[in-house]
Structure 1
Amino acid sequence: MAPVQPPLSFNPAGIELDRRLGLARQLYQALRQRVLDGRLVSGTRLPASRDLAAALAISRNSVVRAYDQLYAEGFIEGRVGDGTYVANLPTAGTAAKKLSTKVSTGFSTGLSPGLSTKRSFSAEDCAPEVIHNAAVGRLESNHLPVPPSGPPRAFRVGVPAFDLFPFEVWAKLNAAFWRKPDLQQLCYGDPAGDERLRGLIAAYLRSSRGMQCTAEQIVITSGAQQAISLCAQLLVAPGDTVAVENPGYRAAGHAFAIAGAQLQGVAVDHDGIDCAALNGLDDCRLAYVTPSHQYPTGVVMSLARRLELLAWAERTGGWIIEDDYDGEYRYSGAPLAPLAALDRSGRVLYVGTFGKVAFPALRLGYLVLPAGCVEAFTRRRAVDVRHSEVSTQVVMAEFMAAGHFQRHIRRMRRAALNRRNTLLAGWPVDVPGVGCLPNVAAGLHLTVRVDSMAREQQLLAQARAVDVEINGLSSYWLPGSATAPDQRAGLVLGFAAVPEATIGEALARLRLAWQV
């Protein structure tokens, strides 16, 4: 009988921490990098938090916080009674080894890729006449619902608690800008957006997401939807196959269809988009995903699946559009590191928005791009809108620089958590045909399964009758999906749009309507 091999042990030698900066964050980044580049292989046993703290001469709390974030992101795992180990992640011959192991700055800086899967970008591509609208039939069969208008109400999806936005602070900053504007700012500006705002966004993403990006990689957009549309215009040639999550964000698919794409819906399981199915698609060179909180199922993409997806992009020369629409809302630990922070080959385009932490009508979003793509995206945007409205960018920059933005995010996260808890506590139980509520660790909405399409439609009609707004999960699927209709049924509920008292009143009306 072969002897049992003892687990590999970790030697902390070589970890250098700058005591002037956040020690927990530095330790987390150092350990994560060692897992990604193979210096810490799956199954390696890590020291107890007290022992590692002593070895590095730092507080145990710093080690615990670093370990907690690594646990949350799936880099390490605990074994009951046996300590902490590096998780079983893709290793040699699979996804992780297919990724480059060079030290990453977050994005490749020397990459100059063609901006279509079939042709290189040229000046002519900026001409409006090359934007393809030949997918009319496809769009008719892929009808895009118009977002609901009017004041927020329970349980509207995609709306944050903008009743808590500090409008007085915003008004003062806005008035200060217009009281004595910089005349230079009133001229035609940089199509990429206000330089100061781009720098502050880059700094925010470095601290909150671990993305080592620069202001030069950021292009300001009129919300996330324009960012997605720019990606569609520049990365998709007519006839290209584009993979989208199914169910998923239908407005993104709409943008790709306008550009002439052939949409391929890819199933989502408990780890995120099905990479095995993605690998089986012929000539697919672009995937649109929502890994931090899948829209609409709420699944958080696992680390192993993230590495598989990045390996797919590097192997095929494909692009990944990562929509981090509500990544600020995580209810335990820090937000998870996005795909863009793990990217080693410049294949991820990161979409961010202020609409989910401020209010949708702000129409302010951004793209974080591989360096080789920035010029083309800036030129394309210059053709479309020249540049964003100036005062909004300048005021947001001052809002961030003065510390209001971070305070507001903390307040919004607390409010969303309280509103989530109110929904979970008051949800009518034992409704016939309705599954159990899921655990909700992130985001602004949740999805609960229903056993049939007929039952979904009945529940939605009863909710509308008592003035409660709920979306049907069936509306998020692509037309012609292979999944059986009854397996597409469910209820999608936003929980952040209105205060707790209003949520309680809506739940009472639902209980009456559903006769629970």
Structure 2
Amino acid sequence: MTNVPPSLSFNPAGIELDRRQGLSRQLYQALRMRVLDGRLVSGTRLPASRDLAAALAISRNSVVRAYDQLYAEGFIEGRVGDGTYVAQLPQNGLPAKKLSTNPSTGLSTGLPTGLSTKQAETPGVLSSKVIHNAALERMQKHHLPSPPSGPPRAFRVGVPAFDLFPFEVWAKLNAAFWRKPDLQQLCYGAPEGDARLRGLIAAYLRSSRGMQCSAEQIVITSGAQQGISLCAQLLVEPGDGVAVENPGYRAAGHAFAVAGARLHGVAVDSEGIDCAELARVTDCRLAYVTPSHQYPTGVVMSLARRLELLAWAERTQGWIVEDDYDGEYRYSGAPLAPLAALDRGGRVLYVGTFGKVAFPALRLGYLVLPLGLVEAFSRRRAVDVRHSEVSTQAVMAEFMAAGHFQRHIRRMRRAALSRRNTLLSGWPADIPGVGELPAIAAGLHMTVPVESVARERELIELASSVDVEINGLSSYWLPTCATPIDQRAGLVLGFAAVPETSIKAALERLRPVWRVR
């Protein structure tokens, strides 16, 4: 056994576990907290799973699961033949002060909120016309095509396996609500959303995603896109710089552009958004990111990069909008903790949605906000939509409270994994001009490199001729991008929208038109 200096030894004393709760989750949180607050420094050797299990009087499997989650998130690393150690994190990516382990309850004292309230006020006639015309010009300049409609088909992006949704259960809960509705619920509701649903969302995020949040921090929205738009309206003044991933989710960039932002496309590498490039954007007050599963490349943001991004927000007093659109889908271990779970400075606004675990037409999402922003966001949302549709919120709350939601997520994850495997196993080999399949550890889609944009377009047109839907990676880049055009090419394929039989049939139709065996 390697000798470890006393300063780098690990003492499990002080770790108290409630045996009535999930032991592996508690152990994971306890170890993660000790890394973040500096009690476990980089290079500390952790006990073997069997030894730690004996010391805590729990099963070895509980320790292994906790270690696996910490390893997946980058907190620990294995050294061949030498055990498990706390990972070496770059000091320049850490905040100057230690990360607090207390939940964020709002903005740090003295921080400017930077909220734009102009659009929430009632301007005069002239200023209304100016605002209206400017917004129209920006919408025309940043026009986006509507998402595809109609029944899902292979390989539509952004659509879950909603053919598996328990519609009978939903119908019964909906009927029960309307059979004898609470008259108070039929009046005007709170603009921030149904209190019970907000509490259940907070409980879910605490137990399943490692976020220390409360119901008071949550604002219900009509899907993730409205949440992003609210961030754009309240955090951005015309002329402000906003960093977006490039390639990235164009509809998010559209929302910020319509609010008057000047978009800065920041490159994405194998660890996520390039924070060095972001730091060179001197006028940027907000960054929009998809760290759990970057859209569309599929990259999972590393822990070191997450800490760098949080340090950027603290240093510049900027905002981070985290879109966790399909974070529930991870195929090895539990879903990774969101970026917001690491935020203790009140700089991250978390965008969540039910559309990727239920069905897109549900139009139900939520924001998790620093407490200091909740009132402003609620008031701004009430200008456009007085409050969310009441019965949908009430039914979703009962759906969650009765345990259907968690069971459905597990079923959806298994289905997406099976459909992913069907696509991987049946994907045609040696397609001219197409690179190798990537590793797909999370999410609902994959991206395959292609040698040129011309070849990308040819493959997409041929696929369309046999009723197969494929998106081109080149369409996800900002028009002003400096990356050479042929380096932007690729095929973006969703694998969850249709059953395995439909995936196999689509692949069979592709082979002859793509001229592969």
Task: Return the alpha-carbon distance in structure 2 between the equivalents of residues 394 and 495 of structure 1.
Answer: 31
What is aligned with 1:499?
Answer: 499
Listed as ranges, the matches of 1:81-480 within 5 Å are 81-91=81-91, 94-108=92-106, 114-116=112-114, 120=115, 122=117, 125-127=120-122, 129=128, 134=134, 136-480=136-480
Q: How far 1:341 moved relative to its partner?
A: 0.5
What is aligned with 2:54?
Answer: 54
Task: Return the alpha-carbon distance in structure 1 between the equivalents of residues 407 and 131 of structure 2.
Answer: 41
Q: How far 1:30 moved relative to its partner?
A: 1.0
Check conservation: 1:132, 1:259, Cα contact below 8 A. no
What is aligned with 2:9?
Answer: 9
Aligned residues between the structures: 509
Q: How far 1:225 moved relative to its partner?
A: 0.2
Task: Return the alpha-carbon distance in structure 1 between the equivalents of residues 415 and 357 of structure 2.
Answer: 11
What is aligned with 1:68?
Answer: 68
Which amino acid counterpart does residue 220 of structure 2 have in structure 1? I
SS at 1:310 equivalent: helix
SS at 2:8 equivalent: coil
Task: Return the alpha-carbon distance in structure 1 between the equivalents of residues 365 and 4 of structure 2.
Answer: 54
Task: Return the alpha-carbon distance in structure 1 between the equivalents of residues 298 and 63 of structure 2.
Answer: 29
Which amino acid counterpart does residue 415 of structure 2 have in structure 1? A
TM-superposition CA deviations, 1:343-388 (whole Å, max 9, x none) = 0100000000000000000000000000000000000011110001
**More displaced 10-residue stretch of structure 1: 82-91 or 341-350:** 82-91
TM-superposition CA deviations, 1:126-153 (whole Å, max 9, x none) = 4474966625555444331210011000
TM-score (norm 1): 0.95
Check conservation: 2:453, 2:485, Cα contact below 8 A. yes
Check conservation: 2:117, 2:234, Cα contact below 8 A. no
Check conservation: 1:111, 1:370, Cα contact below 8 A. no
SS at 1:72 equivalent: helix
Q: How far 1:53 moved relative to its partner?
A: 1.3
What is aligned with 1:489?
Answer: 489
Q: How far 1:211 moved relative to its partner?
A: 0.6
TM-score (norm 2): 0.95
Which amino acid counterpart does residue 30 of structure 1 have in structure 2? A
Check conservation: 2:119, 2:233, Cα contact below 8 A. no
Check conservation: 1:191, 1:388, Cα contact below 8 A. yes
Q: How far 1:24 moved relative to its partner?
A: 1.2
Task: Return the alpha-carbon distance in structure 1 between the equivalents of residues 377 and 111 of structure 2.
Answer: 13
Distance 1:234 1:370, change over 3 A: same
Check conservation: 1:126, 1:379, Cα contact below 8 A. no
Which amino acid counterpart does residue 90 of structure 2 have in structure 1? P
SS at 1:407 equivalent: helix
Check conservation: 1:197, 1:393, Cα contact below 8 A. yes
Q: How far 1:95 moved relative to its partner?
A: 2.1
Q: How far 1:5 moved relative to its partner?
A: 7.1
SS at 2:11 equivalent: coil
Q: How far 1:9 moved relative to its partner?
A: 1.8
Check conservation: 1:416, 1:444, Cα contact below 8 A. yes
Check conservation: 1:248, 1:476, Cα contact below 8 A. yes
Check conservation: 2:36, 2:101, Cα contact below 8 A. no
Identical residues among aligned pairs (%) = 80
Q: How far 1:247 moved relative to its partner?
A: 0.3
Task: Return the alpha-carbon distance in structure 2 between the equivalents of residues 358 and 131 of structure 1.
Answer: 37
Task: Return the alpha-carbon distance in structure 2 between the equivalents of residues 146 and 99 of structure 1.
Answer: 45
Q: How far 1:108 moved relative to its partner?
A: 3.4
Q: How far 1:57 moved relative to its partner?
A: 2.0
Check conservation: 2:250, 2:476, Cα contact below 8 A. yes
Task: Return the alpha-carbon distance in structure 2 between the equivalents of residues 6 and 177 of structure 1.
Answer: 61
Distance 1:135 1:389, change over 3 A: closer
Check conservation: 1:135, 1:257, Cα contact below 8 A. no
Q: How far 1:323 moved relative to its partner?
A: 0.2
Distance 1:207 1:97, change over 3 A: same
**More displaced 10-residue stretch of structure 1: 365-374 or 129-138:** 129-138
Which amino acid counterpart does residue 105 of structure 1 have in structure 2? P
SS at 2:94 equivalent: helix
**More displaced 10-residue stretch of structure 1: 57-66 or 184-193:** 57-66
TM-superposition CA deviations, 1:422-450 (whole Å, max 9, x none) = 00000011001100010100000000000
TM-superposition CA deviations, 1:143-194 (whole Å, max 9, x none) = 3121001100000000001000111111111111111111100100000000
Task: Return the alpha-carbon distance in structure 2 between the equivalents of residues 379 and 4 of structure 1.
Answer: 56
SS at 1:482 equivalent: coil
**More displaced 10-residue stretch of structure 1: 344-353 or 4-13:** 4-13
TM-superposition CA deviations, 1:46-82 (whole Å, max 9, x none) = 1111111122222211111110110111100101111
Task: Return the alpha-carbon distance in structure 2 between the equivalents of residues 145 and 163 of structure 1.
Answer: 25
Task: Return the alpha-carbon distance in structure 1 between the equivalents of residues 278 and 122 of structure 2.
Answer: 32
**More displaced 10-residue stretch of structure 1: 17-26 or 356-365:** 17-26
Task: Return the alpha-carbon distance in structure 2 between the equivalents of residues 304 and 350 of structure 1.
Answer: 19
SS at 1:53 equivalent: helix
Task: Return the alpha-carbon distance in structure 2 between the equivalents of residues 113 and 364 of structure 1.
Answer: 31
Task: Return the alpha-carbon distance in structure 1 between the equivalents of residues 117 and 216 of structure 2.
Answer: 21
